[in-house]
Each structure stands twice: as C-alpha cells, then as structure tokens.
Amino acid sequence: NNVQISTGIESARPVMQLIASPNPAGGGTVYFNKPVSFTLYDETGRSIGCSMNVRSLEIEHLCAGLYLIRTTDNEQLRILRR
C-alpha cells in the first residue's frame, strides 16, 4: 500500500530583494534592480504617489528626507533624499 500525501504547497522560487540605487540620493533618478509597482510615503506616513511596473523613480521634486516605498508584493524599502 503506497500512500501519497500532498501538502498543496508548491516549492517557492527565490524572490529577488528590491534594491534602489543610488541610496541615499542627492536628486535626479533612483533606479530599481527589478520592475516594481509601489506607493510612496513621506516621513509622516502620508501617501504622496504611486507607480506601476517601473524600474526608476524621479526624486528631484522631493524635499530632503526619508521616504518609504511599499510595493504591491508587500516589500518595503526606505529611500533617503539628501
């Protein structure tokens, strides 16, 4: 009697961690290592924008400070604008 048990869990593929460069950034453009969809938050937690399936973010218009990117894949990344 051979009994086969299935857990219903497929083996997960490794997920590439989101990286932004340059970070900290003095202005201009920040580049991501993979396409990403996200909401951008300021230091107070206020949503200040969102982007879909992009590989870069223009930050020239942002004031100096710390910003949070929260992706649709539930990743979080802090970006420091100098």
C-alpha–C-alpha distance, residues 24 and 37, integer Å: 20
At 16 the pLDDT is 87
72: DSSP letter: T
| pTM (2 d.p.) | 0.80
- The predicted-structure confidence for 25-70, as pLDDT tens digits, reads as follows 998 999 999 999 999 999 999 999 999 999 999 999 999 999 999 9
Lowest average pLDDT, out of 2-11, 13-22, 51-60, 69-78, goes to 2-11
Residue 71: other Cβ atoms inside 10 A = 15
